[in-house]
Structure 1
Amino acid sequence: MMMMMMMMMMMMMMMMMMMMKKITVCSLREISCS
């Protein structure tokens, strides 16, 4: 059970990081990203 929770947390973190990176890149290049 604990392992599953940890995995979920890690996945969430990764998703957040990717989203943030995408947003930053879009803002830097000034391109309207969907």
Structure 2
Amino acid sequence: MASSITKVEPNPFGTFLGVSMIWTIVGLLLFLMSW
């Protein structure tokens, strides 16, 4: 967690996009598994 927070400072947009993509994939997997 700490390392990810420090990476937000130099490149906030890149980190945000990466995290959003990861959570989108996780959300889709959970959605498919809920069926």
Would the TM-score normalized by the shorter structure come out above 0.5? yes
Hey, what does 2:27 align to over in structure 1? Answer: 20
Where do 4+ consecutive residues of structure 1 move more than 4 Å? none
With structure 1 as the length reference, what TM-score do the two structures score?
0.68
Hey, what does 1:5 align to over in structure 2? Answer: 12
Question: Over aligned residue pairs, what C-alpha RMSD do you find?
Answer: 0.8
Q: How far has the Cα of 1:20 moved from its partner? A: 0.3
Structure 2 portions without partners, runs of 5+: 1-9
% same residue:
8
Count of aligned pairs between the two proteins = 26
Structure 1 portions without partners, runs of 5+: 29-34
